[in-house]
Amino acid sequence: MKRRTLLGIAGTVVTSTIAGCLGDNEPDEGSDENTTDAPNNETDAPEDRDERDDGADEQPLFADTFSATTHGGFLAIDEDTDSRSEARDAGFVLPEGAEVSTLEATVADDGSWESTKAEFPTVRIDDPITTDVSLELPDGLTGRVSEERMTASGKIRVVIEELDTQFSFDIEATSEQSGTLEGETNFEEEPLTATLVDNEFTIEDSTGNFLVDGQLGLPADEAGTNWFEIELELTGA
């Protein structure tokens, strides 16, 4: 698992040669290259994110404010797969059912919102070492929430505490479809919930540590290989 391999670096005294380190990442002689079959439903591909209807003409879900708690999610980087479960298993997984306060936001008349508080739960890793991975939101989040859908956009800064490294990227998460991921909403009955996803963002940044960058695959500039999902429960006025 890429996540575990990365964290294993912190528990290893790096005294071997760089060539030896890089040699571990080379495929075995004679091994077949991994291939992914092209999707059969090319005509059903989701719209480009720049062409999507943002719901500006829809009825806002909340009149003034809302708050949200996190109930799960994950972040995976440079995972070239069509399987959500494979990407999730290789990624940083948010605590499930923790009900951590994530968002407090004000809502405009057109349904656009801006956070007054925004934070994601810290991911705690205990194997092979104990460390925290923080998903920080330095500029908060913005988006739109209507009776039909929800979006959230902003910068995420990933900080790997034990390794003292970090990198950043921007997301445009939606409750609709993004690449292989599909979000959803339940805005018809309590509790109100939304799953926001982004499978189209790219990461141009890197940590500057070539071992960490090599294990994570940074920069990860191919759309469709980076995965973000978060499950929210919303309360508003």
Residue 148 CA to residue 153 CA, distance in Å, equals 17
List 191's β-bridge partners, or say none: none
Q: What is the pLDDT of residue 163?
A: 86
pLDDT number for residue 58: 84
Is the pLDDT at 147 greater than 60? The verdict is yes
Average pLDDT of span 183-190: 96
SS3 203: strand
State the average pLDDT over residues 77-81.
96
Overall average pLDDT of the 25-38 stretch: 46
Query: What is the residue extent of each domain of the chain?
Result: 2-7+55-236
Is the pLDDT reported for residue 54 higher than 90? no
- The average pLDDT across 23-28 equals 44
pLDDT > 80? residue 180: yes
Q: How confident is the model at residue 87 (pLDDT cuts 50, 70, 90)?
A: very high
Q: Is the pLDDT of residue 74 over 70?
A: yes
Give the C-alpha separation, 167 to 203, whole Å: 9
Instruction: Kindly report which listed range (43-47, 205-209, 231-235) carries the lowest average pLDDT score.
Output: 43-47
- Helix (H/G/I), strand (E/B), else coil: 91: coil
Distance CA 180, CA 145 (A): 22
Higher per-residue pLDDT: 30 or 142? 142
Mean pLDDT for the chain?
82
Helix (H) or strand (E) holding 234: strand 227-236
- The number of C-alpha atoms within 13 Å of 196 and in the hemisphere containing its C-beta is 22
Region 34-45: mean pLDDT is 46
Q: Are strands 123-125 and 131-136 parallel, antiparallel or unpaired?
A: antiparallel
DSSP 62: -
Q: What is the pLDDT of residue 33?
A: 45
Helix boundaries (H) for the chain: 2-8, 18-23, 84-90, 210-216
What is the rounded (10 degree) CA torsion for 200, 202, 186, 73? 130
Lowest model confidence (mean pLDDT) among 12-21, 81-90, 91-100, 152-161 = 12-21
Convert the pLDDT of each residue in 107-138 to its tens digit.
999 999 999 999 988 887 765 456 789 999 99
More confident of the two residues 17 and 84? 84
Of the candidates 169, 172, 180, 154, which has an alpha carbon nearest to the alpha carbon of residue 39? 180
> What b/e sequence results for 61-75 when a residue is b if at least 16 CB atoms lie within 10 Å of its CB, and e otherwise?
bbeeebbbbbbbbbb
Confidence of residue 223 (pLDDT cuts 50, 70, 90): very high
